[in-house]
Amino acid sequence: MKPELSYPIRSVTIPACDQHEGYYKTTVRLYWVCPKCHHPRGDVRFVLSFDGSLRMSVYGWTNPCGHIDKYFDVRQEAKDNLLNLTCTEKFPNGNQDPEVPAGEPAAETQERNQYTNV
């Protein structure tokens, strides 16, 4: 069994980009372990993220191991960990259902669009 399968998973809201303009944020799912040493990440709390001129309330945490999770690295981790795929990334025809031809509406679109794109 892969060790990742036993790691806890947590959803956190972080800035969607470095220049978030006080507005652009995204919620991602992460394995709740430090990517460098695999010890548990710290407790989540609300923090202010500044993009140079504007601020925004997002989640932050301090890892007990001392490693720092930068939002840029967390966004990349979320892209790579396979916990945050959108339906269009899963099915290249652009629909949420692989059986529906491209351009036709798929059933259950509302339900499946709940996944976050990072």
One digit per residue, the tens of pLDDT, for the chain of length 118 reads 356 668 899 999 999 988 888 889 999 999 999 999 999 999 999 999 998 889 999 999 999 999 999 999 999 999 998 898 865 444 454 544 445 455 545 444 444 444 444 4
Residue count of the chain, please give it: 118
Residue range of the domain that includes 106: 87-118
- Separation between Cα atoms, residue 117 and residue 86, nearest integer Å: 6
Is residue 75 located within the same domain as residue 37? Answer: yes
Is residue 17 located within the same domain as residue 54? Answer: yes
Q: How many domains does the chain have?
A: 2
Could you tell me which of 37, 34, 118, 39 has the C-alpha nearest to residue 70?
34
Is residue 80 located within the same domain as residue 94? Answer: no
DSSP letter (8 states) at residue 40: B
Is residue 63 located within the same domain as residue 40? Answer: yes
Is residue 94 located within the same domain as residue 67? Answer: no
**Angle of CA points 83, 36, 87, to nearest 5°:** 10
